[in-house]
Structures are given as C-alpha cells and as structure tokens.
Structure 1
C-alpha cells in the first residue's frame, strides 16, 4: 500500500531488505541509516530514542478479522486474547528512522 500511495506522486522506495518482524526492522533501522515502517501502537517501547514521523501519504484501511468457534465466546481467556489482538491491530503505521 505504501508504494501504491507513492506512485501518483512520482515517489519510489528503495527496499534493501525484508525482515521477519517489527523488532528486527527496528533493530536494523537503529543500527543503520535505513527507515522502517511499523505500526505505532505495537512497537512503542521498541522505538524509544528513535525519530518517528507519520507516513507522508494516506493509506487505505486494512481489515483484520478474528474467527473462532462459537463455543469459545464465553471463555474468559479467549475473550482476553481476542481483546489483545484487537488492541494490537488498532495501531497506526509510522515511519521510523
């Protein structure tokens, strides 16, 4: 979605690597002159001491769906886990440098 938003503006990213997770992306950005795009809410403590700024273009919303068997509706542990996933997925993506 970032590249699609940049294209009409004549902008293009140069992607030099792909990593397996947000913490790896932030560690790489911290140790280099690279920039990482990560969700703001999910990576709060990992970004301490780093310069953060919002993306310079609007991005489309992403739909995240949770599915579970109806018998798990009243299960307190499962309800807690669903709430945690919902909270994490509500984050906003920012550029991190």
Structure 2
C-alpha cells in the first residue's frame, strides 16, 4: 500500500486488510516521504502482518515497485490508502 500524507484515513484501509477471511497474507505499507503522522498512526498494527517502510518522496509508482520488491508472497494485490477491501476480497 503506497501512502503519502494520509494519516487521517490509513487506519481504515489497514483494518480492512487485517479483517480478511483469507489468513495467509502480508501488508506492505510504503510511506512515500509523508510529512504527517502516518508512522505514528500505523504503530498499533505493526505486529499484525504489517510491514512498514519509509522512503524518500518519489511518487506512487516508485512506492508500489518498492513494496513489490520487498514482498515475500507470490501473489500481489494492491490497495490505495484511502480505499477499503471487503472481508472476502482475498
């Protein structure tokens, strides 16, 4: 999940991923140089299948590619930080 200055909405998106009925996944969040408190907002989720990386601001495509490079799973699904998934999406 690429994110840039979306602290006010990111927890809703993260919670929608953690609520998936499919159990075998990881959520990679790539903070594209946010200047708000995104990192603080994500702290409660970091022990729950959530991996957080902060990079220099270089755009949403670079953030997605960074996340793809760091994935440990063979199947990738994308979610933007202001969207939510239905519990059966995966």
Q: Normalising by the residue count of structure 2, what TM-score does the alignment of the two structures yield?
A: 0.29
Greater strand content: 2
Return the index of the structure with the highest Cα Rg.
1
TM-score by structure 1 length? Answer: 0.28
